[in-house]
Amino acid sequence: MRVLITAAAAALALTACGGSDEPSSKRTPPAAQGAGLGAIKAYLLEHTERLKADTARLRTDAEAYYELAKGAGFDYAGLLKDKRAQVAAAVKRVQDDHVKANPSYEEMEGVVAGVPELADFDVILDAGGDKSDPRNAVPFSLETPAGRKFEQPGNFFALIETSAFGTEPRFTAKGVEPDLDGDGRVTFPEALPDADFLVAAARDFADNAAELDAAARTWQPSLQDAFTAVVVMTPTMSEYFGAWKNSRFVAGENAEEKGFVATSRLADIRDILGGIVLIYSNIEPSIAKADAAQAAQTETSLEDLHAFAARLFGEEQDGKRFNASDADTLGTEAQRNAEAIAGQVSQAAGRLGIALED
């Protein structure tokens, strides 16, 4: 999600939120420093390094699965018959790798997706759709070792997840039931990925994660970046809750959403907000110089929103089943609070003379 925030819009947000009407000449200038921008970059690099390692491991395990399939001439029925236990273990490793990589990215998504200089990586790795949605489609195509081409197939997290967990038939082995435990039936998360597709996606995923790490190292954070990230990324709650509503965690077997099957979208919401809390805590000193009370209130509101998401995820982990109506109600509440927070930060940016980016 991207928004263009002009100086005029920031001023409007200031008025709408009941902020100060003091003349701009008396507002705190951009030189109101004190933001711990180095801490934001350190946080980002910690996570890009993690993601780089996680995707390298994923690639290694996808290569191992590919070699198993190649050794059987990609005869998946024969492969299951002869090496069922090995196949099951190989698929499980890839699935586990995906689950491990997920928070490595989600915890830093607020920075990556919220900073224009890095935002293209969010589209490629986590947010972009396939070619059926031209406005949000990823800017790449995938070519497999066998020479098959998948034009703008979707983001890498989705490609790996829907292949490894079997929720996208295009990315799974054809003509064979993925009964990995040999009990005569197939239950989630039993799956038999198309090895040719999976290894291509894993290779490119690892390459792009490494490119993000390199880009993050050259990125020099600014107050403009930090404020923009909070304002852009906080009011995205309705989108995330909508995906959760349509996922198997709420809709069960009737889920329309092919992704978000390995990790609940509530975990992603919690992790994304955790990163935003980190960003805000490092720009709060600048905001406090303009309005200490407002800075503290915004910090409390953001921490409360983060705690709200964490509580819901904890309840889900403990066995509570939410329904579609719950998801709508909770998403509306979260979105309302998120928009208020974004408005307050936009207001602060206007007072400090910080022009937010597109």
The mean per-residue pLDDT over the stretch 85-109 comes to: 98
Q: Quote the pLDDT of residue 136.
A: 92
Task: Domain count for the chain, please give it.
Answer: 2
Shared-domain flag, residues 112 and 2:
no
CA dist., res. 102 & res. 99, Å (int)? 5
Total number of residues shown for the chain: 358
Lowest mean pLDDT: which of 24-33, 56-65, 108-117, 159-168? 24-33
Shared-domain flag, residues 91 and 196:
yes
CA dist., res. 355 & res. 358, Å (int)? 10
Shared-domain flag, residues 208 and 233:
no
Q: Quote the pLDDT of residue 27.
A: 32
Question: Residue 212 above 60 pLDDT?
Answer: yes
Shared-domain flag, residues 78 and 214:
yes
Residue 39 inside a domain? The answer is no
Residue 329 inside a domain? The answer is yes
CA dist., res. 254 & res. 244, Å (int)? 13
> Please, which pLDDT band fits residue 357 given cuts at 50, 70 and 90?
confident
Q: Quote the pLDDT of residue 4.
A: 33
Range of the domain at 168: 46-219
Shared-domain flag, residues 230 and 325:
yes
Shared-domain flag, residues 207 and 67:
yes
Q: Quote the pLDDT of residue 123.
A: 97
The mean per-residue pLDDT over the stretch 226-246 comes to: 95
Shared-domain flag, residues 56 and 153:
yes
Shared-domain flag, residues 181 and 317:
no
Amino acid letter, residue 198: L
Write the CATH number for 51: 1.20.120
149 SS3 class: strand
The mean per-residue pLDDT over the stretch 246-272 comes to: 93
> Please, which pLDDT band fits residue 17 given cuts at 50, 70 and 90?
very low
> Please, which pLDDT band fits residue 254 given cuts at 50, 70 and 90?
confident
Residue 40 inside a domain? The answer is no
Residue 162 inside a domain? The answer is yes
Alpha-carbon distances, residue 191 vs 63, 91, 174, 201 (angstroms)? 17, 8, 11, 17
Q: What's the whole-model pTM score? A: 0.87
How confident is the model over 22-78, as pLDDT tens digits? 333 233 333 334 456 999 999 999 999 999 999 999 999 999 999 999 999 999 999
Shared-domain flag, residues 164 and 272:
no
Shared-domain flag, residues 204 and 348:
no
73 SS3 class: coil
Q: Quote the pLDDT of residue 256.
A: 83
Q: Quote the pLDDT of residue 26.
A: 30
Picking from 219, 239, 274, the residue at the C-terminal end of a domain is: 219
